[in-house]
Amino acid sequence: MDTVTATLTGQLIGLIRYKPITDADLQAAALFTLDACANAIGGRNTNAGRILMRWSADHPIQPSSRSFVAGALTHILETDDLHRASVTHPGCVTVPVAMALGAKHQVTGVALLHAVLHGYEAMCRVGNAVGPAHYRVWHNTATCGPFGSAMVAARLLQLTDLEAQHALGNAGTQSSGLWEFLDTGAMSKHLHAGRAAESGLLAAELAALGFTGPPAILEGKKGFFAGACPDAIPARVLADPQAAWQLVGTSIKPWPSCRHTHPAIDAALDLHTQLAGRAIREVRAEVYQAAIDVCDRPDPHSEYEAKFSLYHCIAAALADGQVNFESFDPTNRQRLAGLRRQISAQVAEPYRSAYPDTYWGAAVSVTTVEGVTLRVDRRVCKGDPDAALSRDEMVEKALMLMRHGGLDDNTAQQLVAAILALPSGQADWGVLQRVFV
């Protein structure tokens, strides 16, 4: 076979490579690159991050190992981006590959951002098609991620369309990542992101040397959809090709917890203001099924479990009017235990039916000891494309994460400036290397 076949991956490559990129797209890609890089730096200041850094110190610094470590680090703090329709975190998989290969080949800023856009598009379009049953067992970021990282690498390694098809074929055959870790709070979720980044890069590097992959990895009789997606919707891979880039439809997370908790957090923050200190008797949350599947933890016993607890996140927002890194520490988990016990959560309409295609929503109702009930509904929450963080807010978030990861203010400011300068064509790799130190 010496030509691209009319498979879903072959057509997806064509869709992506002929899609026009505007200056506004490049500016958006720079901000998402900044967010992912800041998350990678912030992730160093965690137990899992320190383990990863110790591992990396003993292994050769190649793009594959850099991508693995940076991808895993980016996903640790639960503040990385989220694409709602595909239920994936594309930044933690695609940006580390772009930065690692960009540093090796000293690419321009524009080339790097083109690769990021390509990676988001491939990962999210595959994720759009996997169907809801896939997510109940498989972690979409882990399974769809290799398609995105392979597409990033295909752009930066200047693969032909045929080579890119081989890369995506072998990226897909490496798809993996199960939700079983949630029951114990194991560190596997970070491994998922790192391996998704590394797997796609490996597939692309091998394709550049002539290593072939299955062209129908998505829709084939023994392909990805057949093996892991009982209710796949293959047409969504290529749907609406003239739509905006998937990157600009991605949410930025303002709070360091599972994205399924965010609509309820947003509603609870509003209720905190309305309550004005009045005592609470009862709290009810109405959510969609996936929020219960992933975040039904009334009594979290670790920081990580608390980040995946609807009850704890709602309690922190109601009690404190803010949700930050400290909200999940042992002192605050103990302090908020009583309020958590007053909270119930159940699946309800319209949130059940709207998820994930229309919106990720929730309502929170609070009844005070005086018998007054207050209710707030959230169908769009802060950080979604419909209520996007401003450029200044994204810069402030990035600086906060970089400081959390140990960078001094001057170094952090330099790194922010270097990333935001990428659309101009500049790429100061002397400064950008700070992402990997």
Residue found by looking up tokens 């699946």 in the block: 347
Q: Which of 342, 381, 383 is nearest to 264 (CA)?
A: 381
Does the pLDDT value for residue 54 go beyond 50?
A: yes
The class (CATH top level) of 8-254+387-435 is mainly alpha
Which pLDDT score is estimated for 299? 96
Q: Which of 291, 288, 286, 308 is nearest to 299 (CA)?
A: 308
Show the CA angle centred on residue 164, arms to residues 160 and 169, nearest 5°: 150
Does the pLDDT value for residue 73 go beyond 90?
A: yes
DSSP line for 400-416? HHHHHTT--HHHHHHHH
Average pLDDT of the chain, as a whole number: 96
Give strand pairing partners of 286: 346, 363
pLDDT band with cut points at 50, 70 and 90 for residue 436: confident
Average pLDDT, stretch 10-34?
A: 98
Which pLDDT score is estimated for 2? 61
Residue type at position 178: L
Q: 259-381: same fold as 8-254+387-435? A: no
pTM: 0.94
Answer for the pair 256, 324: CB distance below 8 angstroms, yes or no: yes
Does the pLDDT value for residue 434 go beyond 90?
A: no
Does the pLDDT value for residue 437 go beyond 70?
A: no
pLDDT, tens digit, for every residue of 23-45? 999 999 999 999 999 999 999 99
Average pLDDT, stretch 239-268?
A: 97
Per-residue burial over 281-304, b = 16 or more CB atoms within 10 Å of its CB, e = otherwise: eebbbbbbebbbebbebeebeebb
Which pLDDT score is estimated for 179? 95
Residue found by looking up tokens 């018998």 in the block: 371
Does the pLDDT value for residue 134 go beyond 70?
A: yes
Which pLDDT score is estimated for 298? 97
pLDDT, tens digit, for every residue of 145-159? 999 999 999 999 999
pLDDT, tens digit, for every residue of 371-416? 999 999 999 999 999 999 999 999 999 999 999 999 999 999 999 9
pLDDT band with cut points at 50, 70 and 90 for residue 60: confident
Residues 208, 68, 92, 23, CA torsion sign: negative
Does the pLDDT value for residue 61 go beyond 80?
A: no
DSSP line for 358-388? T---EEEEEEETTS-EEEEEESS-TTSGGGP
pLDDT band with cut points at 50, 70 and 90 for residue 1: very low
Which pLDDT score is estimated for 48? 96
Please report, for the chain, the start and end positions of each structural domain, with discontinuous segments joined by +.
8-254+387-435, 259-381
The class (CATH top level) of 259-381 is alpha beta
C-alpha to C-alpha distance for 196 and 138, rounded to whole angstroms: 13
pLDDT, tens digit, for every residue of 88-127? 999 999 999 999 999 999 999 999 999 999 999 999 999 9
Helix axes 262-275, 310-320, angle to 10 degrees: 30
pLDDT, tens digit, for every residue of 282-341? 999 999 999 999 999 999 999 989 999 999 999 999 999 999 999 999 999 999 999 999
Q: Which of 172, 174, 167, 168 is nearest to 206 (CA)?
A: 167
Q: Which of 174, 134, 130 is nearest to 150 (CA)?
A: 174
Does the pLDDT value for residue 225 go beyond 80?
A: yes
Does the pLDDT value for residue 421 go beyond 70?
A: yes
Answer for the pair 364, 285: CB distance below 8 angstroms, yes or no: yes
Does the pLDDT value for residue 169 go beyond 90?
A: yes
Average pLDDT, stretch 252-264?
A: 96
Which pLDDT score is estimated for 422? 98
